[in-house]
Structure 1
Amino acid sequence: MEYKKKEEKPWRKYVNKFSMLGTAALSAAMLLGGCQAQTDEADAGEAPQADTENQALTDEKTNVMYIVLDDSGFSDLGSYGSEISTPNIDELAENGLKYNNFHATPVCSPTRASLLTGRNSHAVGMGNVANFDFGEEYPSKRARIPDEAGFVTEVLGENGYTNFGVGKWHITPTTELSPAGPYDRWPLGKGFDRYYGNLEDSSDQFRPELFRDNSPVPLPDVKDYHYSEDIVGNAEQYMTDHVSIRPDDPFFMYLGFGAQHMPHQVPEEYIDQYEGKYDEGWDVIRKQRFERQKELGIIPEDAELAPRSPDVPAWDSLSEDQKKLYARFMETYAGFLTHTDEQVGKLMDSLEEMGELDNTLIVLISDNGASFSGGEHGATNQSMAYNKIPEEFESINGKYEQIGSGQTNSDYPSGWAQVSNTPFAKFKGTTHAGGIRTPMIVHWPNGTEARGETRTQFTHVSDITATVYDVLGVEAPDQLDGTEQMEVTGVSFADTFDHPEAETGKDTQYFEHSGKRTIYHDGWKAISIHEPGTDFAEDEWELYNTTEDYSELTDVAEEHPEVLEELIDLWHEEAEKNNVLPMSENFLEGLAHLPEDNIRAKSSFTYYPGMSHLSESAAPLTLDRNHEITIPIEYQEGDEGVLLALGNDKSGYTFYVKENTLHYEYHNGTERYTITTEGTLNEGENTITLTFENTGENQGTGRLSVNGDAVGETEIQTLPLKTSFEGLDIGKDLLYPVSPAYAEEGSFPFTGEIEKVQYDLETGEYLFAE
């Protein structure tokens, strides 16, 4: 191909000279000192390095930074056609490159696994999100990234880099996210030197579950706390520490925002910035974005706008109350993104002040297309959304003033998600363009001469790390820590930096998610249409000529049957190579599927007072299982507080004592089931037991006893898949309180003594069903 000669790559002269050395050679080079390094450069025919007041300004090192937005669609950024104010990200685009043919995977964990390893997600065991473990039958869908798939941090760490991670992780099996580990799949086990953020799939923005390195940590005592601000503040601290003390050494930074994933939560002043902005509705805004994309040159002049999804009503058909509510959701989403952009600006300012901006290769992407999980009306309760329980319009409308606050877990209606994905059809979770085509911005002033241009080459998330290795001159090792490595299958697109027409050699890429399939090859895309419950062999396939049909809207399968047949065969070849098979159409159902070797499949758990906060995903799965929860305590009159709490104010269950009265409460998002008993606790030792008898799918009877004596019972309609998005606490209730009865009491720690908390569970009739 035309642009493969090293001397034709202007970025070669900017890479860190140490990046091409092994660890031992690096140590030796550092011992020799700067004078010897300059002599070596002169001997090689290169000009000696110029003296500079700030060593960090030398052109001999290249830092690397990945910034990942969550659930942000192709058109959400101002530089990609949006009316949302994102000036800082747009400045990265103006001084860098925009890619309009970039592809992620349909959901977040596979994208992150592919990004950080440079390989396809199924090949590294992350064929679905990290919350699911489909068992030995589905080896690529167990969320277990093998040591053979070394992370970019591990490779760069062997080449002189210090590695920092902040924000969303979500590529460790979530059942392993306990304060006792195992830690080998946590960030520090994968080559990161410092980490701060949330390890699960989504984070509350006002009261997140936080981890630093290998330990859960309390929420910072900060007025007007916001998660995005916190992780960026930690990123700034990590970089400042590094550059102040080791200015000549390069660093790698991974920043995973919780934004724009549900819950959409942001200070009210950011929402107010967009008051009235979306009153015209999603049909008008979508057309405006489409036209602006053409004006910006981010899409071709002949591109077409996908028709409105059949599940999305015309804006003009809505009632005034619906329009007002839905506009408020979009005002919140827009304010959330503007706030996120502001944090990116702070980070860029810090890099510039430290003299590190121009020599940092920054790649900004979204992990998949915009999500339709808000449904027709939008959502205010994440637990209900993930349990596939739609909220009634009247209930949502009653929370209008709370949208965007910590009182709700907001997600906008799917009509706005389609706006986010302009000009494409479909949403996150599909292998159509709306699910997998997202923005990618590359900013590297020291390594690229082009500014503000758009690149059209087909690129995939696995190609990013391959590109980093290419520009740094790093060879992906055959072994890491004695473990033979899988091939890095991503393809470098570095030739496109300064050559708009460069060929990358990326001619084929498969996609698969929950039985939905796509294959790209040489400008063609074939996409399967799978009906749930049918054999995958019966799937119909669509065919698109992406060279002529940018938005992938004209199915030409009938006109080119031979091309379609070749692509279907190619999909199967790629599936075999990347361990995609067998397929499963399940998605959220995986939350309640536990293989026998999964730690949550145990029949007994014992927790002791003082245990750190435990992720809900690592806590006992009580749904649709006969179970008992036993809590022996030492009680004196006047003692009060929480004995056990799992969940938050949106859903969960809690045991607590208040005013000498024992309470049990289960909240399923819409109803609260309570057992309240007076005079049942004795001075001294008491054993409290909750027995749940499963009487049908997602229902049962809860019976409370004290010292063997029944004291009350209630029928309970349980959630089907996930109890809550906040974990388990012993002897207190951190973050959001499960019960409003003690919401004013802080964490409401129990003033008596708790001996332990014992869970004993049976296998439920529905729990392990396929």
Structure 2
Amino acid sequence: MAHRPFITYFIVYLTIHKISTKQPHILLIVADDYGFHDIGYHNRDFQTPNLDKLALGGVRLENYYVQPICTPTRSQLLSGRYQLKEAGYSTHAVGKWHLGFYKDDYIPTNRGFDSFFGFLTGGETYYTHYLCYDNKCGTDMRDMTHPTDAYNGTYSTTLFAEKAIDVINNHDEDKPLFLYVPFQAVHAPMEVPEKYMEPYRHINDKFRRMVACMDEAVGNITEAMTKRGFWDDTVLVFTTDNGGEIAAGGNNYPLRGWKHSLWDGGMHAVGFVHSKLIGSQMTGSATMELMHVTDWFPTLVKLAKGNLNGTKPLDGFDQWATISWIPPPEYGLPVRDAHEQTTGLNAKNLWLFNIMKDPTEQHDMSETEPGIVTKMLDKLRDYQKSAVPCVYPKPDPRSDPAKLGGFWGPWE
């Protein structure tokens, strides 16, 4: 993070917090596999009026990073969410979980949420909510702790928006609300209702049609917040879990790489914050300050007037003042051919890029800056000393939905 003059930082900080006198409602929306170039304010081919209005009326995070795949991002995003409940929040999750479920202890309602509606696995069909994995097949949809097939035929993006709106409409206005909406969209498979085909009929890309549906769902959720009188006291955070999967239509232009990769296209994410609590003088801005998905937990807990006792050491930092004080952009993304997403797949396994000056990772500096390489490798070794090894357990035959009434769910 760039150093700032102390007096400027301090005055802005006081101004922000003077208008934030009570616990805000928090609406946290996560898109799945949403590419950097798959939103209207990055790509005029996309029709995302609701997302664009929210982003352009808020603060766009243009130097914001996540993990290259789903679960690591989600776990870092939500680690320690109990602190929101301790701060008096009603906590609700609607959508994709993908954070473990082999025991009842690990489903959302046992991990800090008052309610859950959605699916537990990493992906499924949008209409039938059916998943086949490792030769095991079953339905994955839950209302609280109960598996259900009552929504077979209902498109998930629409369904999750309706359930989120139900939460909003039934919320006790005397309590602060934390609503977590991790959409299935725009993850494969490429399925979308016919009515969203028309805006992109000239483009042979169903993925973009899924984006239009998600955009409408976000608009419906924010409209419901407005109708309940919650919007003026709400902080909306929108993020993707990782970069777009180009094999399934995602587009991370002009960044290099894709979901699963450690190039910027896999981790440099779409993200923005919209809230009247940041003050009108801050809205409509883009910040190039570095931010990571691990920062959301301490940022939102502090914003909610909770505490971080028992959660340290944390990797993230409270970024609210950074989000609210916007320095001028120091660089822009250069124009490149939209189809130029080079792989860099060869025998080389180490590169060094100056992301601020070279955001599309074209100029390798590893040979000209060996001192920086050594310093960064030493830092990685320090992290590795405390890293927990990855565990890849063998498939458990007890997890077969055929043994669980045809549903994916806890089996131990």
Q: By the TM > 0.5 criterion, same fold?
A: yes
User: One-letter code of the match for 1:217?
Assistant: T
Q: What SS does structure 2 have at the residue aligned with 1:75?
A: coil
Distance 1:7 1:605, change over 3 A: closer
* Closer, same or farther: CA 530–362 of 1 in aligned 2, 3 Å: farther
For residue 337 of structure 2, what is the aligned residue in structure 1? none
The answer to whether the aligner puts 1:441 opposite 2:272 as a matched pair is yes
| Counterpart position of 1:132 | none
Judged with a 3 Å threshold, the aligned counterparts in structure 2 of structure 1 residues 613 and 90 are, in CA distance, closer, same or farther, namely same
1:199 matches 2:131? no
**Distance in 2 separating the partners of 1:97 and 1:340:** 20
Pair 1:352 & 2:352 matched:
no
Does the residue aligned with 2:239 lie in a helix, a strand or coil? Answer: strand
SS in 1 for 2:283: coil
Of 199, 218, 235, the match for 2:149: 218
Unaligned runs of 5+ in 1: 17-59, 118-149, 177-181, 279-326, 375-410, 479-484, 503-527, 532-538, 585-589, 620-770
Supply the distance in 1 between the matched residues of 2:99 and 2:221 (Cα, whole angstroms): 24
- CA distance in structure 1 between the aligned counterparts of 2:326 and 2:216, rounded to whole angstroms: 30
Aligned CA distance change for structure 1 residues 441 and 94 (closer, same or farther; 3 Å)? same
Does 1:77 find its partner at 2:39? yes
| Alpha-carbon distance in structure 2 between the residues aligned to 1:100 and 1:6 | 24
Secondary structure of 1:234 counterpart: helix
Per the TM alignment, residue 546 of structure 1 is displaced from its structure 2 partner at its CA by 1.6
Mapped to 2, the partners of 1:240 and 1:349 lie a distance apart of 11
Deviations 1:195-249 (A, max 9, x none): 100111013111112101111012337xx6211111111111111111xxx2121
Higher gyration radius (CA): 1
Does the Cα contact within 8 Å between 2:242 and 2:259 map onto a contact in 1? yes
Matched position secondary structure for 1:349: helix
Give 1:162's match in structure 2, choosing from 90, 95, 100: 90
Deviations 1:448-474 (A, max 9, x none): 331111100111100012111232332
Following TM superposition, by how much is the alpha carbon of 1:275 offset from its aligned partner in structure 2, in angstroms? Answer: 1.5
Tell whether 2:408 aligns with 1:576. Answer: no
- More strand per residue: 1 or 2? 1
Counterpart in the other structure of 1:493: 319
8 Å CA contact retained: 1:466, 1:491: yes
Q: Give the corresponding residue for 1:451.
A: 283
Q: What's the CA shift string for 1:707-726, capped at 9, x where partnerless?
A: xxxxxxxxxxxxxxxxxxxx
Q: What is the CA-CA distance between 1:10 and the residue it aligns to?
A: 3.0
Q: Tell me, what secondary structure is at the counterpart of 2:350?
A: strand
- 1 CA distance for matches of 2:170 and 2:276? 23
User: Contact 2:120/2:409 (CA < 8 Å) preserved in 1?
Assistant: no
Does structure 1 residue 8 correspond to structure 2 residue 13?
yes
**Are 2:104 and 2:410, in contact at CA under 8 Å, matched by a contact in 1?**
no
- The residue correspondences of 1:604-623 to structure 2 (distance < 5 A) are 612-615=405-408
In terms of fraction of residues, the more helix-rich structure is: 2
How far apart in 2 are the matches of 1:574 and 1:530? 26
Q: Deviation of residue 601 (structure 1)? A: 5.8
Could you say if the C-alpha distance between residues 544 and 467 of structure 1 is closer, same or farther in structure 2, counting changes exceeding 3 Å? Answer: same
| Cα distance in structure 2, aligned partners of 1:164 and 1:463 | 21
Q: Which residue of 2 aligns with 1:560?
A: 369
Provide closer, same or farther for how the CA distance between residues 162 and 107 of structure 1 changes in structure 2, counting only shifts above 3 A.
same
In the comparison of the two structures, how many residue pairs are matched? 381
Q: Partner of 2:168 in structure 1?
A: 239
CA distance in 2, matches of 1:189, 1:617: 12
SS at match of 2:109: helix
Greater RCO structure (CA 8 Å; 6+ sep): 2
Match of 1:107 in 2: 69
Q: Percent identity?
A: 24
Task: Return the match for 1:254 from 174, 180, 202.
Answer: 180
The alpha-carbon distance between structure 1 residues 474 and 5, as it changes in their structure 2 partners (threshold 3 A), is farther
Q: Deviations over 1:255-282 (max 9, x none)?
A: 0111110012111221232122x3xxxx
Task: Indicate the SS of the match to 2:211.
Answer: helix
Counterparts in 2 of 1:200 and 1:7: CA distance versus 1, 3 Å: same
Structure 1 residue 475: deviation in Å? 1.8
Tell me if structure 2 keeps the 8 A contact 1:476–1:488.
no
- The alpha-carbon distance between structure 1 residues 540 and 274, as it changes in their structure 2 partners (threshold 3 A), is closer
Question: What SS does the aligned partner of 2:72 have?
Answer: helix
What is the Cα deviation at residue 580 of structure 1? 4.9
Deviations 1:502-524 (A, max 9, x none): 9xxxxxxxxxxxxxxxxxxxxxx
Query: 1:5 Cα deviation (Å)?
Result: 4.0
SS of residue in 1 equivalent to 2:170: helix
Partner of 2:157: 228
User: For the residues of structure 2 that align with 1:207 and 1:605, how far apart are their CA atoms?
Assistant: 18
Q: Do the aligned partners of residues 340 and 349 (structure 1) sit closer, same or farther apart at CA in structure 2, a change above 3 Å counting?
A: same
CA RMSD in angstroms, aligned pairs only:
2.7
Structure 2 residue aligned with 1:470, among 302, 325, 328?
302
Q: Which residues of structure 2 form unaligned runs of 5+?
A: 130-139, 329-343
- How far apart in 2 are the matches of 1:607 and 1:349? 41
1:161-180: per-residue Cα shift (whole Å, max 9, x none)?
0001000010015xx1xxxx
Other-structure match for 1:340: 214
* CA pair 353-12 structure 1, distance change in 2 beyond 3 A: same
- 1:93-132 to structure 2, matched below 5 A, reads 93-117=55-79
Q: Distance in 2 between matches of 1:606 and 1:553?
A: 47
Structure 1 residues 606 and 446, CA gap change in structure 2 (3 angstroms): closer
SS at match of 1:566: helix
Task: Give 1:574 deviation, angstroms.
Answer: 1.9
Structure 2 equivalent of residue 187 of structure 1 = 108
How does the TM-score come out when normalised to structure 2?
Answer: 0.85
Question: Residue 687 of structure 1 aligns with which residue?
Answer: none
C-alpha contact (below 8 Å) 1:216/1:612 kept by paired residues:
no
Which amino acid is the alignment partner of residue 350 of structure 1? A
One-letter code aligned to 1:275: R
Cα deviation for residue 530 of structure 1 reads: 8.5
1:99 alignment partner AA: L
Q: Which amino acid aligns with 2:298?
A: A
TM-superposition CA deviations, 1:400-426 (whole Å, max 9, x none): xxxxxxxxxxx33xxxx3xx1011111
Please show how residues 384-463 of structure 1 align to structure 2 within 5 Å: 411-412=248-249, 417=250, 420-449=251-280, 450-463=282-295
SS of equivalent to 1:254: strand
Cα 1:189–1:11 change in 2 (3 A) is: farther
Whole-Å separation in 1 of the counterparts to 2:57 and 2:400: 55
